[in-house]
Structure 1
Amino acid sequence: MCAGWPAAFAATSDEVAPPDWGLTKDGGHIIHSSARVAWPRCVEGMQWTGQRCTGTALQLDHAEALAHVKAREKAEGIAWRLPHMKELQQLANQNAQPTPAGQTLLPTVGEGWCWTATTTINTPSFNAYSYNNVQRGLNGQNTRQLKFLHGWAVNTATGESHGDVLKRSKLTVRLVRPID
């Protein structure tokens, strides 16, 4: 055993672990250290002024949101992407806890339903004898086909998520990128 090993890695009692969530110096981005990602504080279409988000939030359907991500990635050379459902839920849950300075991570103007990159892979089993399914004319075949029309969205004010949002619905877009 190395006698000096514990002492070399022991933390002093006055050391404080850095917070997992924080803001950049200019306040324009939210940093999630353990996930190694950065989020703009404002939704797409709005800009951070140093105190709040200004401008008009883009309302895009799912295909437009994906095209917007590609265009921004190409224009800036940064690997922007739509977040996954769990990432956006984590951001929403963290937003409910004020920072040490007493502010929330997301300005109120940026809260609401946002598109995610999450897709439905497993579809629930289909019950051909359910009156609801018979009444709506659903069968096992067209139920799977209908899932293609839906996407996942998260409400950043509450953390609630739904996987049955029509992809043609106009929602706000919040992007995320890896930390360099």
Structure 2
Amino acid sequence: MAAPVSPGTPRDQEALQTLRDTSAKSLDTAQQAEKFVDLNRKQGTGGIYSLGLPFVGNFGDMAAPFSNELSQMRAITARLTPAQRVPGSGTSSDLDVKMFKQSLPAIENPGQVNANIAKDLQERSDRDAARTAFADTWFAKRGNLLGMEQAFNQFWAKRQAGDPVANNLPGAVPRLPQQTSGGWSISRVK
């Protein structure tokens, strides 16, 4: 029988909790971005909606109150924008907020751009989920996180290269992005 693994240091516990929080946050962001893309399939974006207007932002902002889909898309972007700030990084300037918003799906972007952004956010969520699962397994087996990050990076490189063994290791993600005629969707592995 194997000896019980020590509970690790408070620093290890804090790191695990940070990984879990990051994973949950990126999953929420990816799900909201996918919801944006679903709405975007019903209501076009970009083009005229990106035209800047004096004193009122852009045409998309003016048209949003008259379209349920545009209003919901604008609300998703507004909700996700402040969540892009790294906690503990201090205050955000107007330029920071503008850059955060540009990394998210938005009414100003054409639909395909929004789909590509959502795909990137899903890939980041998948990596965060895999890192969290890998760290939990690593910690359970070793009682600490020493060497975990380097081991995860090796695992992830193999997984990205299509190594079939890597897909069966702890950290393999139970969500698969699939391209459809309308963009990207997320399916769950059964």
Q: TM-score range by the shorter chain?
A: under 0.3
Choose between structure 1 and 2: higher helix proportion: 2
Query: Per residue, is there more strand in 1 or in 2?
Result: 1
Structure number with larger C-alpha Rg = 1
- TM-score scaled to structure 1, two decimals? 0.25
